[in-house]
Structure 1
Amino acid sequence: MTIWLISFFENTPIDDNQNTRYNSLVKEAMQRGHEVTFWASTFKHNTKSQRFDKKTTLAIQEGLTLQFVKSKPYQKNIGIQRLYSHYVLGKDIVKAMTAATQKPDVVVIAYPPISTAYEVVKWCKSNTVPVIVDVIDPWPELFEQKLKKLPQPLSKIIFSGQNKKAKYVFQKATAVTAISNQYLNWAKTYASQIKTACFYPAIDGATVEAQLLQASQSQSATPKVFKIIYAGSLGYSYDIPCILAAAELLKEEIGVEFVIAGLGPQVGLIEKAVKQLPNLKYLGRLSKEQLMEEYYTANIGLTQHTKGATQSVTYKLFDLLSCSLPIINSLESEMRDIIVDNKVGFHHPSGDAKALANCILLLKQNTELYNEMRHNAKNLFLAKGDSKKVYAQFLDFIEAQTNS
């Protein structure tokens, strides 16, 4: 079977981190003997740089081809320039798909961008090719929230068009998948009868185990401190001030240590706090090996978001669960329900540093509860977050659409 996978924001098989959703789908499809074409853009979203200066085709191995479509650059995640880049990219990928020598048996496209998904779904309908739309983020709602200050006439023009395209995408898709049930329910507001399936953003458990084993050889298995770690983006949608305030509240608590790793615009805030708080460390951006060493000696993982954050279920959830770390979370989403219902951690209101500190103390002081949550975390990861299981099920779903 010939499968086309289309994702413009995620790493491709030539990028550094292979433990991602579409790379995992590639591996699973290749193991089953399918012919795979991975469509991406020359522009790499997370680094805001071009992989290539023109459209490029790479034959990675037998049965796997990468198609990089030339994409206009942009620097801001939220803005008109990015929307225009996506509009042009949608037109250009259809030209490239039309020029392909062989049609696929099925197409899977990550959503967003809206414009590219719209053009690809239209092409698939015209060519009678089944198409699965995989929801990673609920656009255009995210853009509407971030661009509230746009003049009303301009906002109406932009978002009425975006909503019409979104409606077309979901009403004409063969099926819809998503990284959470929350996003599937959102997609159903456009097309209530669409066939759906949820596949969480899983990670490779075998790789994690190997990394933890390597970390164990250089790190003490019995850390002298009770370590709470936040590792990830330091952007403004992540509640770094709440973490720093909790560290302030617990600065007299013997044996408690806060560790923050990552880069972003809130670095200055952290560096200032480090000078005042002896229980706080800032490690900057870590390699995967360094991060796993920190996770190996950590006791609690944090997922802290500001009020109104739009994420649903993140990779970070399964990163932490795979390392048997109880999680303290402030994201109001399906992730909250997963954490609380499966007893793998606690939820507290965004910005409530006292509640965060109390959750930390409870786990530090209640060894039985702490050990139970560690055990539950690993079991939940194996059941819901291991890529070998999750993406095997995803490929089963993809294969089934060619027979529908």
Structure 2
Amino acid sequence: MRTGIMAQVLAQRGHQITWWTSTFDHFNHRHRYETDVCLEVSSNYKIQYIRGYGYQRNVSISRILDNNLVGKRFAQLIRKQTETPDIIIASIPTAELALEAVRYGRQHNIPVILDIRDLWPDVFYDLVPSYTHPVIDLITIPMTRKLEQACAGATSIVGLTEAFLNWGIKHANRLKNKNDQVFPMGYLTNSCYPSQQESADKFWQDKGVTKSEYLLVTFVGTIGKTNDLFPVIEAAKLLNDTQAKVKFVICGAGENLSILQSKAEKLNNIIFPGWINSEQIISLLEMADIGIAPYINSKNYISNVPNKPAEYLSRGLGIALSLDCGVLYDILQEHNIGFSYYSDAEKLANNLDCLSKDTQRLKTMQTNASSIFDKFFNGEAVYNQMADYLENIVVNS
């Protein structure tokens, strides 16, 4: 999303943009195209899709092989281009693709900016049992070396937070320079055409989801290992037993979906609509009161404000956060935009029950949420600032 928005912003400024990316859809685990494809979005913006192997599990050997293949294919294809770019911005992950971009940039004296989006491959350690860590050490040695080479060779590094930026600089084994910057995960607020809005609203009405006297609590995202929704199901049980005026809408797909559905099958205060489209997301968030950020206790989340909380804040939702420390936790506590439930079902249930009975507290929380979004996470401001930054580097290089 971040790279795509940046490409659009830069193209709208009149720049010639080529976005290099894999054909593989990371969220749906399928290829968009079966071969390398160059898609012309507009007269000055094209997307070059690179065919990799694909993978079915986000943490797997097949994903590592896919990352390596995409990096190698990029190195082959970019050298066939007749024109060289003025600047390259490459995301981490993946280190493999970023390293090839850095090598090409250095060969042609092109500034290369690394955007630290994920603490990859460190995140592996948070997703597997501790007894497998020695194996992970061996598997990730080549990936870590490529990451270090990419960071060290880049012109400058940017990150979603100060912690992410510092992580990149640490792997570059150098001091911070004036061009190393923080650009948060901005979110663009979209609207629907009236016909789309009507269709999306009807979708929710048919499922019994409407703006009512009930506190509407939602999650929209991947239902997998990095999002721990099991305490949410337990909280729903507690609230169902007391007939509290709280309803849950858990949207998305993933490896844990069927397990969660089984645990919640006897509850009448929770629904699982599955994957929903962008118009249905907008409609839902316009009705919702609280957005759940059920992250596992991982450095990747503790040091970061991911896209989903920014999306919740854009619609004025309070945030129910699982973590008990970190960047998002500090913002939440300082600005009263939600609460932490410490991955504890009883704490989550108690907080939601109280909010369902205290409309003034909820309204204050939601007003603060909108204000914090405008101040820190408004995508239009963030990505135009980032575009200014890239333009300045080109002018001064």
Q: What secondary structure, in the 3-state scheme, does the structure 1 residue paired with 2:171 have?
A: coil
| CA-CA distance at 1:213 after TM superposition | 7.3
1:200 lines up with 2:184 in the alignment: yes
Q: What secondary structure, in the 3-state scheme, does the structure 1 residue paired with 2:157 have?
A: strand
CA deviations 1:270-321 (Å, max 9, x no partner) are: 3234332222222222222223332222221111123337332211111111
Instruction: Say whether the 8 Å CA contact 1:228–1:259 is kept in structure 2.
Output: yes
Instruction: Say whether the 8 Å CA contact 1:215–1:292 is kept in structure 2.
Output: no
1:330 maps to amino acid: S
Deviates more, 1:46-55 or 1:208-217: 208-217
| CA-CA distance at 1:182 after TM superposition | 2.3
Using the alignment, how far apart are the partners of 2:248 and 2:295 within structure 1? 17
Instruction: Say whether the 8 Å CA contact 2:125–2:133 is kept in structure 1.
Output: no
1:317 lines up with 2:327 in the alignment: no
Instruction: Say whether the 8 Å CA contact 1:313–1:333 is kept in structure 2.
Output: no
TM-score where L is the length of structure 2 = 0.88
Using the alignment, how far apart are the partners of 1:45 and 1:367 within structure 2? 39
Q: What secondary structure, in the 3-state scheme, does the structure 2 residue paired with 1:141 have?
A: coil
Gaps of 5+ in 2: none
Across the aligned residues of Structure 1 and Structure 2, the Cα RMSD in angstroms comes to 2.6
| CA-CA distance at 1:360 after TM superposition | 1.3
| CA-CA distance at 1:248 after TM superposition | 1.6
| CA-CA distance at 1:363 after TM superposition | 2.1
Which of residues 297, 307, 321 in structure 2 aligns to 1:307? 297
1:355 lines up with 2:325 in the alignment: no
Aligned to 2:235: 246
Matches within 5 A, 1:131-210: 131-146=112-127, 152=134, 155-191=136-172, 192-194=175-177, 195-207=179-191
Aligned to 1:382: 374
Using the alignment, how far apart are the partners of 2:199 and 2:36 within structure 1? 40
Deviates more, 1:99-108 or 1:118-127: 118-127
| CA-CA distance at 1:145 after TM superposition | 4.4
TM-score where L is the length of structure 1 = 0.86
Using the alignment, how far apart are the partners of 1:66 and 1:59 within structure 2? 6
2:75 maps to amino acid: V
| CA-CA distance at 1:199 after TM superposition | 1.8
CA deviations 1:60-92 (Å, max 9, x no partner) are: 321112212232222221122221222222122
Aligned to 1:231: 220
1:396 lines up with 2:396 in the alignment: no
1:184 maps to amino acid: L
1:62 maps to amino acid: S
Using the alignment, how far apart are the partners of 1:30 and 1:131 within structure 2? 18
* Count, aligned residues: 383
Aligned to 1:340: 333
Deviates more, 1:102-111 or 1:262-271: 262-271
Aligned to 1:277: 267
Deviates more, 1:62-71 or 1:52-61: 52-61
Specify whether residues 208 and 303 from structure 1 end up closer, same or farther in structure 2 by C-alpha distance, changes over 3 A only. Answer: farther
2:386 maps to amino acid: F
Using the alignment, how far apart are the partners of 1:161 and 1:189 within structure 2? 17
Q: What secondary structure, in the 3-state scheme, does the structure 2 residue paired with 1:200 have?
A: coil
Instruction: Say whether the 8 Å CA contact 2:321–2:340 is kept in structure 1.
Output: yes
Aligned to 1:103: 84
Using the alignment, how far apart are the partners of 2:98 and 2:45 within structure 1? 22
Specify whether residues 221 and 212 from structure 1 end up closer, same or farther in structure 2 by C-alpha distance, changes over 3 A only. Answer: farther
Using the alignment, how far apart are the partners of 2:283 and 2:126 within structure 1? 38
Aligned to 1:28: 9
Specify whether residues 66 and 278 from structure 1 end up closer, same or farther in structure 2 by C-alpha distance, changes over 3 A only. Answer: closer
Deviates more, 1:386-395 or 1:177-186: 177-186
Deviates more, 1:191-200 or 1:380-389: 191-200
| CA-CA distance at 1:151 after TM superposition | 8.6
Using the alignment, how far apart are the partners of 1:211 and 1:181 within structure 2? 42
Specify whether residues 210 and 170 from structure 1 end up closer, same or farther in structure 2 by C-alpha distance, changes over 3 A only. Answer: farther
| CA-CA distance at 1:210 after TM superposition | 8.2
2:363 maps to amino acid: N
Using the alignment, how far apart are the partners of 2:262 and 2:138 within structure 1? 44
Specify whether residues 360 and 254 from structure 1 end up closer, same or farther in structure 2 by C-alpha distance, changes over 3 A only. Answer: closer
Gaps of 5+ in 1: 1-19
| Bigger share in helix | 2
Deviates more, 1:324-333 or 1:102-111: 324-333
Specify whether residues 23 and 171 from structure 1 end up closer, same or farther in structure 2 by C-alpha distance, changes over 3 A only. Answer: same
CA deviations 1:107-137 (Å, max 9, x no partner) are: 0011111111112111111211000001111
Instruction: Say whether the 8 Å CA contact 1:203–1:319 is kept in structure 2.
Output: yes
| CA-CA distance at 1:346 after TM superposition | 0.9
Aligned to 1:17: none
1:370 lines up with 2:362 in the alignment: yes
Using the alignment, how far apart are the partners of 1:109 and 1:164 within structure 2? 17
